Amino acid sequence: MAGYGYEVDFLPVGSGDKSGDAIALRYGEPGSYKVMVIDGGTKESGQKLVEHIKMHYETTHVDYLVNTHPDADHASGLEVVIEQLTVGEVWIHRPWEYAEEIRHWFKDGRITDESLANRLKDLLAHAYRLEELADEKDIPVYEPYAGAKIGDFYVLSPDQDWYLELVPQFNKTPEARSVNMAEAVTSFGAKALEKIASWIDEHWHIETLSEDGETSCENESSVILYGNLGGRGILLTGDAGIQALEKACDYAENLGVDLVTSRFIQVPHHGSRNNVSPSILNRFVGSKVGQGTTLTKGSISE
Ligand SMILES: [Zn+2]
């Protein structure tokens, strides 16, 4: 394909211990690029996304807008994008549409489909607002479940059945246990440096991650996207945890996609140590090699 190219831009979200995702990407041939936005971070980073797309992509149109999961550090910036740019398709989970299917998970017998739907709209207000804005602007809204195709990307996780099991557990798992990379980098204490050192070690021969890291069910519900852009694999993971990543690997295998050959892999949850495990990293980047091993061309995919 003559002139085919792609670009993935991660914009900074917040400062200090605040983080999130605001990702713009485009791919295709010059003059007919497709533009995608995956999460918008905060309102502030949402505004930066708008400026970035106007200035660097020289367009005011986003073909595909995806919200990986309803947390504010991912969803709220997307409001700004929908308000200020034209959008072709909005991709977002709408759990409030499934009150009837998930009501049996709740013990409270008085709960009705309507009250459950309203509770979910309140709890996930940032995500619900995206649907409202899309409706106001007549933008079609689709749900990103495994098997869906968004432009040149496949959704690998969550599948709809698992998603509907996760929803009743939203807002239950505290985030307190997660220690993320952004936090470590910005606090500069001795402990922080230790954290960074152990993270970096992970890339070589010392195993420092555990197999039982946990994250919230909201994070596990994150949309995991895989695209093959001009022969190069790109994997975007939102805040997915170990369970979601396992499911995504299984789904990729069924599609015949070898994730190890991916050129670009987003470390989930802004670099949190609790969202990956040694075995999941092996499935993403290949097994460990001994210290001193020379990687020759062919052992890493080019
Ligand atoms: Zn997040």
Q: How far is the CA of 165 from the centre of ligand 1 (A)?
A: 20
Q: How far is the CA of 257 from the centre of ligand 1 (A)?
A: 26
pLDDT at site 265: 86
pLDDT at residue 210 tops 80 = no
Q: How far is the CA of 206 from the centre of ligand 1 (A)?
A: 27
Q: How far is the CA of 239 from the centre of ligand 1 (A)?
A: 5
Q: How far is the CA of 4 from the centre of ligand 1 (A)?
A: 31
What is the average pLDDT score of the chain?
84
Cβ density class 151-177: b for 16+ within 10 Å, e for less: bbbbbbbbeeebbbebbbebeebeeee
Q: How far is the CA of 112 from the centre of ligand 1 (A)?
A: 31
Mean pLDDT of 211-235: 91
pLDDT at site 209: 65
pLDDT at site 227: 95
- Using a pLDDT cut of 70, give the percent of the chain over it: 82
CB–CB of 22/238 below 8 Å?
no
pLDDT at site 295: 55
pLDDT at site 185: 39
Q: How far is the CA of 180 from the centre of ligand 1 (A)?
A: 10
Mean pLDDT of 251-266: 87
What is the residue whose two structure tokens read 């013990």?
A: 107
- Per-residue pLDDT band for 297 (boundaries 50, 70, 90) equals very low
Read off the pTM: 0.84
pLDDT at site 111: 85
List the chain domain ranges: 5-285
pLDDT at site 71: 93
Q: How far is the CA of 98 from the centre of ligand 1 (A)?
A: 24
User: What digits encode the pLDDT tens for the residues 118-127?
Assistant: 999 999 999 9
Q: How far is the CA of 252 from the centre of ligand 1 (A)?
A: 23
Q: How far is the CA of 164 from the centre of ligand 1 (A)?
A: 20
Cis omega (within 30 of 0) for bond into 158:
yes
Q: What share of the chain is helix, strand, coil (3-state, %, to 5)?
A: 40, 20, 40
The pair of three-digit structure tokens given for residue 60, joined into one six-digit string? 């005011």
Within 10 A of 30 (CB to CB), how many other CB atoms are there?
Answer: 9
Q: How far is the CA of 41 from the centre of ligand 1 (A)?
A: 8
- The CATH number of 5-285 is which of 3.30.420, 1.10.1660, 3.60.15, 3.40.50? 3.60.15
CB–CB of 73/83 below 8 Å?
no
Q: How far is the CA of 271 from the centre of ligand 1 (A)?
A: 10
Q: How far is the CA of 36 from the centre of ligand 1 (A)?
A: 19
User: What digits encode the pLDDT tens for the residues 4-35?
Assistant: 999 999 999 987 767 889 999 999 999 899 99
pLDDT at site 107: 74
The pair of three-digit structure tokens given for residue 266, joined into one six-digit string? 């987003």
- Per-residue pLDDT band for 172 (boundaries 50, 70, 90) equals low
pLDDT at residue 110 tops 60 = yes
Nearest Cα neighbor of 243 from 219, 220, 266, 211 is 220
The pair of three-digit structure tokens given for residue 153, joined into one six-digit string? 């990307």
User: What digits encode the pLDDT tens for the residues 50-109?
Assistant: 999 999 999 999 999 999 999 999 999 999 999 999 999 999 999 999 999 988 887 777
Q: How far is the CA of 196 from the centre of ligand 1 (A)?
A: 19
Q: How far is the CA of 222 from the centre of ligand 1 (A)?
A: 10
Q: How far is the CA of 270 from the centre of ligand 1 (A)?
A: 7
